[in-house]
Structure 1
Amino acid sequence: MRIGLTALIARATVLSLIALTFGAATLLSEERNAGVLESWNDGAAKRAIIDFVVRVTKDGGAEFVPQAQRIAVFDNDGTLWAEQPLYFQLAFAIDRIKSLAPEHPGWTTTEPFKSILAGDVETALATGEKGVAQIVAATHAGMTTEKFGEVVDEWLANAKHPKTQRPYTEMVYQPMLELLLYLRDNGFKTYIVSGGGVEFMRRFAEDVYGIPPEQVVGSSGVVTFEIGDGGKPELIKQPEIEFVDDGSGKPVGINRFIGRRPIFAFGNSDGDLQMLQYTAAGNGARFAGIVHHTDSDREWAYDRASHIGKLDKALSEAVTRGWSVVDMKADWRTIFPEKR
């Protein structure tokens, strides 16, 4: 069949317009995302994040999500900041025990305090839940919430990480700081959902991550209302544990304190598995990501056998379900922010 000259010109014009339209859309998309996630190498993880954000924020798009429903949740230890050689809040508790020891001479012969004072943290933790409860009671309870906050502030201002000699608040991951900002710039509300103590994390979350205290979900102890000296109303921290925000507790905490199923979640360990499952199980577009610690030179390399941040079942499920796994060594151009 012969095609006339007019038809050929018309077809060429349509094809040119289509090419120009898609080319312009590509340029606009590239311009929109230029300069974002600068500390991320251009790999599958970065592309998956940007692709997801573009899809759920495209007004009129098939996967558009209203801004009120753009909830993103992040684990803290090992996801937003480092967690080796031991959880930073545990380092706080250990330092606190050492500073309080002169007031408690009996600790030198009583576990778990005896081992902590001798520098044997492994033996102290081997005392199990009872020992941990004693550590929490001695270092986190028996004071007002305001006093506890002051103690945490002082520790964060002076304590240094044993390997890097940097303040603990500088052991945050620069790529994740950029991710938090990128999400907020695109209408997401970012939350911390972590096994760490909620009142501990609230002391630095806003300054370090830009996440206000009311968007921090964590483990908590019992707090009671009392009338203190001079008739001043006070909140007193008690030694009993009220809520553990880890494992299956994370979806429960999300439901209790956020009230919406997230569409975006990041973790790094088996303790985050249920949070990732809960997020991924919702309707519509979903993103589940895992930080895999693979860089023994710039940070640490650990996963399935680690006693801190064990990543075993969650890693296997990520592969099966097609979740994004961030290879720290390959995907992150830099890990920690420049020293201040």
Structure 2
Amino acid sequence: MITRRRLLALSAAVFGSPVVGFATGASDPLPSWTNGTAKQAILAFVARVTTEQGADFVPTAERIATFDNDGTLWAEQPYYFQLAFAFDRIKAMAPQHPEWKDHEPFKALLQNDKAAFASSGESGLLEVVAATHAGMTTDEFTDAVRDWMATARHLRFGRPYNQLTYQPMLELLAYLRANGFKTFIVSGGGVEFMRPWVEKAYGIPPEQVVGSSGVVKFETDATGKPRLIKLTQVEFVDDGPGKPVGINRFIGRRPIFAFGNSDGDLEMLQWTVAGAGPRFAGLVHHTDAEREYAYDRQSKIGKLDKALDAAAAGGWTVVDMKNDWSRIFTE
């Protein structure tokens, strides 16, 4: 089984409006959170850092909050949604590639043969990602992502993928911004896969998205029009230890507030709490198999093991999805 970090390393080689549902005037800024320790920890932290004349006051410019995406802001099971996009793209592109029906790993995907596709290993995955993410302009890729978001449906929930965002986290993002925070996505997913839809989904503009990326080349077409072409080489993998590196490179300020859900977020959380002054580190723990999914230490997707231990040792806030959220998804 390919680890998440290795999967993202392969995928990164070719990656080339306000949130609805939160009333800022409401008496409870986090209505989908039950009144437990997680909610109280968030409210208390925000009050501490925004109280002028207080010992822990943090100037607005330094109120940086970073969030993982997969499994933190939207669902990630049964496999990362960007892989679902790649698999669906193979089927959509198949009429233009008749040779795929006899060539693995494309043949397996077109026949929905999961075992055969799995046997193709890393090389097969690389071929699929290359075919669906490279060799096109950045504008063409953006259009493909938007079209997929408008038409694709999750196998279990039957909903568009961008409607599988977590309502409690949307409320948290809005609450932080209402209190002077600047919110960023720092994800192992492809930055060009996220940017076309995250602003409408989360209220986070594309320039505040840090993700894995592949090399992009500037050129002019036959008419002299400039364009950017997505290539297959890896540029940056924003997962694990890459996350604090990405924060340093693309944001330039250490966050004081960070949320993740897996071991891929461990270094981001460690980097956050290592700074001076008040700090908040949070983990979403998937414990609700009925309304969403339940997984942690043994999961192949979104494994939460070392980070869970670090949370216990460091006093980080762990959100128990089943008990801390009265509602999971956005209506």
With structure 1 as the length reference, what TM-score do the two structures score?
0.88
1:92 matched to which residue of 2? 85
Match of 1:67 among 41, 55, 60: 60
User: What is the RMSD computed on CA atoms of the aligned residues?
Assistant: 1.4
- Tell me: CA distance 1:125–1:249, structure 2 relative to 1, closer, same or farther (3 Å): farther
Deviation at 1:122, TM superposition (A): 5.6
CA distance in 2, matches of 1:263, 1:195: 20
Matching residue of 2:168: 175
Counterpart amino acid of residue 199 in structure 1: E
- 2:103 aligned partner: 110
Amino acid aligned to 1:52? F
* Aligned match of 1:50: 43
- Which structure exhibits the higher relative contact order, with contacts defined as CA atoms closer than 8 Å and separated by 6 or more residues? 2
1:134 and 2:123 aligned: no
SS at structure 2 position matched to 1:52: helix
Partner of 2:195: 202
SS state at 1:137 partner:
helix
How far is the alpha carbon of 1:125 from its aligned partner? Answer: 4.7
Looking at structure 1, the residues matched to 138 and 175 of structure 2 have their Cα atoms a distance apart, in angstroms, of 33
Residue identity (%): 66
Contact 1:77/1:194 (8 A) holds in 2 = yes
Distance in 1 (CA, whole Å) between partners of 2:211 and 2:114 is: 24
1:213 aligns with 2:206: yes
Give the counterpart of 2:281 among 274, 285, 288. 288
CA distance in 2, matches of 1:75, 1:304: 18
The aligned length equals 307
> What secondary structure is seen at the aligned counterpart in 2 of 1:96?
helix
In structure 2, stretches of 5+ residues that fail to align are 1-24
Q: Is 1:39 aligned to 2:27, yes or no?
A: no
After TM superposition, the structure 1 = structure 2 runs for residues 14-25 of structure 1, keeping only pairs within 5 Å, are none
Q: Name the counterpart of 1:335.
A: 328
Whether 1:299 and 2:292 are equivalent positions in the alignment is yes
Conservation of the 8 A alpha-carbon contact between 1:133 and 1:239: no
Mapped to 1, the partners of 2:178 and 2:46 lie a distance apart of 10
Deviations along 1:151-185, one digit per CA (max 9) or x if unpaired, are 11100000111111111111000000000000000
Shift of 1:123: 4.8
Unaligned runs of 5+ in 1: 1-31
| 8 Å CA contact 1:78, 1:309 repeated in 2 | yes
Select 1:309's aligned residue among 297, 302, 305: 302
Q: 2:17 — aligned with what?
A: none
Q: Deviations over 1:205-247 (max 9, x none)?
A: 1000000000000011110000013100000011222111111
Instruction: Return the letter of the residue paired with 1:193.
Output: V
Q: Cα deviation per residue 1:242-287 (whole Å; 9 max; x = unaligned)?
A: 1111111111110110011000000000000010100011100000
Q: What secondary structure does 2:45 align onto? A: helix
Q: Cα deviations across residues 56-90 of structure 1 (Å, max 9, x unaligned)?
A: 01111101111001000000000000001111110
1:146 aligns with 2:154: no
- Of 237, 244, 260 in structure 2, the residue corresponding to residue 251 of structure 1 is 244
State the secondary structure of the residue aligned to 1:81.
coil
Q: Distance in 1 between matches of 2:89 and 2:74?
A: 21
Give 1 or 2: higher helix fraction: 1
Distance (Å, rounded) in 1 between the aligned partners of 2:121 and 2:58: 44
Q: Assess, with a 3 A threshold, how the Cα gap between structure 1 residues 132 and 242 changes in structure 2: closer, same or farther.
A: farther
- 1:136/1:239 contact within 8 Å kept: no
Instruction: State the one-letter code of the partner of 1:202.
Output: R
